[in-house]
A and B are shown apart, each in its own frame.
Chain A
Amino acid sequence: MSEGPNLGSLLAEHWHLARKLRSLEIHFAPERCKGLWQCYEVCPVGCWTPDYDVRCVVFRHGERCIACGACVLQCPERAIELR
């Protein structure tokens, strides 16, 4: 047989990744937030809302999250995690 991943294991891996994607949740540490609004700028579904009074974002619409990871990546303060 040929070496390397076969179609079966590739499909299985793909399936597990996709399933994991469904269970991921946003964990936000507001004390780290410096109000740069990057998560708000990039979120394509509107989970984040800026609170200009306290210079901190609010994770308001978690139900819309598609776990794309954009907010996690763009936060230079690493205040957001997806796990």
Chain B
Amino acid sequence: MATVFMKWLERRPADYDRGIRLLTLGRLEAMQHLIVEELVEQGMRVLEVGCGTGALTAAMAKAGANVSAIDISPGMLAEASRRIKKEDVEEHVDLQRMDAVMIDELFEPHSFDLIVSSLALSEMSERGRRYLLKSVRKLLTPDGKLAVLDEVRPTSGGSRLLFTLVRAPLQLLTWLLTRTTTHPLTNFEGVLTNSGFDWDLLSTEMAGSLRLYLATPVEQDESDRKPEMFRGRLNGARTLRTVLIDLWASLFRILPPYPQVKPGVYAVGEPGRDSPLLVTGNFELTVRRLVRAIEGELDAWILVVDSGGINVWCAAGGGFLTADKIIGALHISGLSEVLHHHALILPQLCANGVEGWRIREQTGWGVHWGPARAVDIPEYLARGRKKSDAMRWVTFPLRDRLEMTAVTLGFYALLILIPIAIFWRSIFWPTLIAMAALSAFYAVTLPWLPGRDGLAKSLPLALIALVGMLVYSTIWDPASIDVLFARAIGITALSVFIAAELQGMSPLMRGEQANWGWEAVIGGFLGLTYWLVPNLMGWR
């Protein structure tokens, strides 16, 4: 609560202390007194971060400490300077104006026995706070301590509700008056622990919302250090969720929303400071395949970059995965502080949209093009980041063809089967069966059908399908000439659509997207024939 009014009070530094005393019912003073009594000793070197009007500064100097005090507000520093003169402790106090995050630049390592902060950390951003705590570790002497006196958001449900209810109108008022808002510390204890401190609660006041922490740096096991944007460990385990997502994606992959992984740093296995770093996009299937490819084979870090939930090849080609996105993700990842090496392994198939040399230039990291397929990564690394041509070249093997067949089937189910189910129910099952059988047949025989692209291959496919249809119609289901004709038109149309589309699902297409124009023309022609011929022949 106090800090809400503090923002307003800050405008008039001279009245600040009176206001704070009122707002904290004098408890803040008592807690500052505790700091001086319990922690400050004669001749101690103390750094005060955010000294404000210098009340605590002067008290600590009076107790015999040599105090370096910083604040970012010139008004506050002027008031502090006046007070220090008045209290006659000038030779024991060094006042400086600076942002708290700059202390590691301006003071030598291990130069303070005590670092103190009173109602200042809550004024900083979360990132600033984490950075400051890291600097504090550097600046403290081996036996040094950190004392933090600040406003804290309660963690338990009831007191948190009360805190919020009381605080909301004050927050609104502060915002109206000053257009700013304050941020009582949230989960500060967790931040302290994560930043490498052991801590005790020396004193609490104001129903637990005003707290005095005493923290000491603990030896950090540097080999176990995690990067800033670390999000956790990934494994390739099959759960109900992954099975459902895979099922959905195997039919309707091209429909958004795409299943996504939160961008950030992940671990596979138990990576250490020398483990390789693999970059990928945030399409969930991509990440899962990568994890399954390397799990058990090696320990690695994975930097998942936001690619809009799209696979790396399409995302890079479409401008969703770019060099700048990777540079940005790497910058905030905190990986450069954790890893001994500076080598990025990019998926080869994002090279159509990510300039490797630009990442190299801007970050200084080495950029290495990994293999085209994730399954080759263990071997690629075992060879010392060397690829064979087979690892470099993209193929469209049967497994992938069948997978993509399912995707096209899902797409056509929506496009063709739903209208048929509504308007032409009698041919629904024959169409579905013909479609599935043709797709599967096409997927298997694709490499042996003549022609380079799918549209050309649709001709032999249609011929084979027509023969198959005739055999079926002769042996199992003899039909009149007009029914045979209708079947021929239908099977030809399906052949063309299926053949032209499936190749477009391979990474090897080259402008096959233009085929849809021809598909439309052929479709129109077949439709016209279907309508015209029976009339001309007098079948209807």
Known A-B contacts A42-B369, A43-B392; the reply to A70 vs B511 at CB < 8 A is: no
Confirm or deny: B348 has a beta carbon within 8 angstroms of a beta carbon on chain A.
yes
Chain B residues positioned under 8 Å from A40 (CB to CB): 392
Q: Name A1-52 residues within 8 Å CB distance of B.
A: 11, 14-15, 17-22, 38, 40-46
Check B387 against A44 for contact (C-beta < 8 Å).
no
| Interface check A73, CB cutoff 8 A | yes
Name A40's closest neighbour in chain B (CB-CB): B392
Residues of chain A lying within 8 A (CB to CB) of residue B508: 44-45, 66
**A77 to B516 alpha-carbon distance, docked (Å):** 37
The answer on a CB contact under 8 Å between A46 and B510 is no
The number of inter-chain residue pairs (CB within 8 angstroms) is: 72
CB–CB B317/A15 < 8 A = no
Residues of A within 8 A of B369 (CB): 38, 41-42
Please tell me if B476 contacts chain A, counting CB pairs below 8 Å.
no
A56 within 8 A of B: no
B387→A41 contact, CB < 8 A? yes
B513 within 8 A of A: yes
- Count the A residues whose beta carbon is within 8 Å of the partner chain — how many? 26
Quick check: is B403 within 8 A (CB to CB) of the other chain?
no
With contacts A66-B508, A73-B353, A76-B357 taken as known, whether A42 is within 8 angstroms of B514 at the C-beta atoms is: no
How many residues on B have C-beta within 8 angstroms of the other chain's C-beta atoms? 28
Known contacts A15-B517, A41-B387: A67-B392 contact under CB 8 Å: no
> What chain A residues lie within 8 Å of B357 (beta carbons)?
38, 74, 76
Contact (Cβ within 8 A) A74 B356: yes
* Whole-angstrom distance between the Cβ of B116 and the nearest chain A Cβ: 52
Q: How far is the CA of A21 from the CA of B509 in the complex (A)?
A: 10
**Are B513 and A14 within 8 A (Cβ)?**
yes
Assess whether B124 is interfacial by the CB under 8 Å rule. Answer: no
How far apart are A83's CB and chain B's nearest CB, in angstroms? 15
A44 to B17, CA, bound (A): 69
Partner of B348, one of A11, A14, A44: A44
Q: Is the CB of A22 within 8 A of B351?
A: no
Assembly CA distance A45 to B509 (angstroms): 11
CB distance from B140 to the nearest CB of A (A): 46
Contacts of B393 in A (CB 8 A): 44-46
Q: Is A58 an interface residue (CB 8 A)?
A: no
Residues of A contacting B389 with CB < 8 Å? 46
B352 within 8 A of A: yes
- For residue A65, CB closer than 8 A to chain B, the reply is yes
Known interface pairs A38-B357, A70-B351. Does A44 touch B511 (Cβ–Cβ under 8 Å)? no
Q: In the assembled complex, which residues on chain A have CB atoms less than 8 Å from the CB atom of B507?
A: 44, 66
Question: What's the nearest-Cβ distance from chain B to residue A51, in Å?
Answer: 15
Q: How would residues 352 to 375 of chain B score, 1 for a CB under 8 Å from any chain A CB and 0 otherwise?
A: 111111000000000001001000
CB–CB A38/B510 < 8 A: no
A45 to B353, CA, bound (A): 17
A43 to B355, CA, bound (A): 14
Chain B residue at minimal CB-CB distance from A36: B357
Complex partner residue of A44 from B349, B353, B512, CB under 8 angstroms? B349
Known contacts A15-B516, A43-B392; decide if A73 and B351 are in contact (CB<8 Å): yes
Q: How far is the CA of A21 from the CA of B514 in the complex (A)?
A: 9
Residues of B near A14 (CB, < 8 A) are: 513
A41 touching B348 by the CB < 8 A rule?
Answer: yes
A4 to B356, CA, bound (A): 36
Pick from B349, B387, B512: contact of A18, CB under 8 Å: B512
Q: How far is the CB of A42 from chain B (nearest CB, A)?
A: 4
Interface residues of B (CB under 8 A from A): 317, 348-349, 351-357, 369, 372, 387, 389, 392-394, 507-517
Q: Could you list 10 examples of A-B contacts with CB < 8 Å?
A: A15-B516, A22-B514, A38-B357, A42-B369, A67-B510, A68-B317, A69-B352, A70-B352, A73-B353, A73-B355
Besides A42-B351, A66-B508, 5 more A-B contacts (Cβ < 8 Å) are A21-B513, A41-B369, A46-B392, A70-B352, A74-B355
